[in-house]
């Protein structure tokens, strides 16, 4: 029977679905599989079902004869060597769409948390520092009617903008590689052609662009230097911002605080300044992590494999130029 390797043991329903068509092998060790372990576990496999932090290099791709599909349970796919996949005629699947609303909810959660010092104050309560009624160490700012700037206007960012405009009456500006006039007029967004202009006129800045060569450190010293008391939220990929410059910007007041669901590297060294900093809230890459969305992404990743096996289109295929 045709074989499939699944690189985590988190997805019983997806494995059940795959098992109707394939002989499924699931990685069941506590540590994530190394490249060597992926290669040895995937020998003779038609497909591998991967997570976004499985580095699928050309070495892996070329060491699995018969591999036809890499199905990433993620919208991002920068973990996969696309050129090697194309050269070896391997199809790549991803899982956009189903995670949009969960990621947008999470982004708003981080924004509200920064605005009102929720985690910061909770840390102090845990440390026994709530000794009398005194809001003064924690006075935050409102979200309602403030100015949100967004970098990248894909599906997740659009859903964030919708929540911000309709739920919080915020003024929303955005920069994106491609201008989106329909969304602009639906939500009354302001397009700003120049990132430097965008970042100097906002209260909150939320990053949503995919990580590419062009967006690597799209927020760097030049941009931080222009910011004034901004609260920054990053749920895209860690390397879209220069983290050392973020620390400088927080320490010198250009940035008020930051919520990072993604870091560079990921996970960060837990002893590093960025982790212990009172003005930085770090969550462990949880944007899409609601139970419902976790399951939907796994189901979609499984269906992408099954569809290729039955000569149908994937629900979402990464097309390689």
Of 24, 45, 64, 74, the one binding ligand DGY (CB under 6 A) is 74
Q: Which is nearer to ligand DGY, 99 or 218 (CB)?
A: 99
Q: Which is nearer to ligand DGY, 76 or 109 (CB)?
A: 76
Q: Which stretch binds ligand DGY (CB under 6 A): 71-79, 158-166, 276-284, 310-318?
A: 71-79
Residue 52 binds ligand DGY, judged by CB under 6 A: yes
Q: Which stretch binds ligand DGY (CB under 6 A): 13-21, 73-81, 198-206, 220-228?
A: 73-81
Q: Which stretch binds ligand DGY (CB under 6 A): 8-16, 20-28, 72-80, 307-315?
A: 72-80
Judge whether 237 counts as a catalytic residue.
Answer: yes
Residue 97 binds ligand DGY, judged by CB under 6 A: no
166: its two tokens: 């309709």
Q: Which residues within the stretch 240-279 sit at the binding site for ligand DGY (CB under 6 A)?
A: none
Judge whether 292 counts as a catalytic residue.
Answer: no
Residue 288 binds ligand DGY, judged by CB under 6 A: yes
Residue 75 binds ligand DGY, judged by CB under 6 A: yes
Judge whether 123 counts as a catalytic residue.
Answer: no
63 phi, psi to nearest 5 deg: -100, 5
Gap between the Cα atoms of 248 and 255, Å rounded: 9
99: its two tokens: 């995670």
Residue 76 binds ligand DGY, judged by CB under 6 A: yes
Contact 256, 275 (CB under 8 A): no
Q: Which stretch binds ligand DGY (CB under 6 A): 69-77, 119-127, 182-190, 218-226?
A: 69-77
The residue with tokens 């050392």 is 244
Long-range Cβ contact pairs of 166-173 (< 8 A, separation 24 or more): 167/108, 168/143, 168/144, 169/144, 169/145, 170/143, 170/144, 170/145, 170/146, 170/204, 171/145, 171/146, 171/147, 172/147, 172/148, 173/147, 173/148, 173/149, 173/198, 173/201, 173/202
What residues contact 248, with CB distance under 8 A and at least 6 apart? 221, 224
Number of residues counted as binding ligand DGY (CB under 6 A): 7
Residue 304 binds ligand DGY, judged by CB under 6 A: no
Gap between the Cα atoms of 315 and 321, Å rounded: 19
Q: Which residues are catalytic?
A: 237, 266, 285
């Amino acid at each position: 029977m045709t074989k499939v390797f699944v690189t985590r043991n988190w997805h019983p329903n997806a494995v059940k679905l795959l098992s109707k068509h394939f002989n499924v092998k699931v990685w069941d060790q506590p540590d994530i599989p190394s490249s060597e372990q992926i290669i040895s576990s995937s020998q003779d496999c038609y497909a591998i079902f991967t997570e976004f932090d499985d580095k699928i290099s050309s070495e892996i791709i070329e060491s699995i004869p018969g591999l036809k599909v890499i199905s990433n349970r993620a919208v991002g796919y920068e973990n996969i060597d696309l050129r090697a996949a194309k050269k070896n005629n391997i199809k790549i699947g991803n899982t956009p769409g189903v995670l949009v609303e969960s990621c947008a909810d999470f982004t708003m959660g981080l924004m509200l948390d920064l605005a009102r010092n929720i985690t910061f104050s909770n840390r102090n309560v845990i440390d026994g520092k709530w000794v009398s009624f005194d809001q003064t160490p924690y006075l935050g700012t409102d979200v309602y009617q403030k100015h949100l700037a967004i970098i990248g206007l894909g599906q997740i960012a659009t859903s964030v903008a919708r929540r911000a405009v309709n739920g919080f009456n915020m003024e929303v500006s955005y920069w994106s590689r491609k201008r989106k006039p329909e969304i602009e007029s639906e939500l009354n967004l302001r397009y700003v052609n120049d990132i430097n202009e965008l970042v100097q006129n906002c209260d909150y800045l939320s990053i949503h662009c995919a990580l590419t060569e062009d967006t690597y450190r799209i927020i760097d010293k030049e941009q931080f230097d222009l910011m004034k008391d901004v609260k920054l939220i990053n749920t895209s990929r860690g390397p879209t911002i220069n983290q050392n410059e973020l620390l400088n910007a927080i320490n010198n007041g250009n940035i008020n605080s930051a919520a990072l669901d993604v870091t560079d590297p990921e996970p960060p060294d837990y002893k590093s300044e960025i982790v212990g900093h009172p003005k930085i809230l770090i969550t462990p890459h949880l944007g899409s992590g609601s139970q419902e969305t976790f399951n939907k992404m796994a189901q979609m990743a499984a269906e992408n494999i099954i569809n290729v096996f039955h000569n149908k289109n994937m629900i979402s295929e990464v097309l390689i130029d």
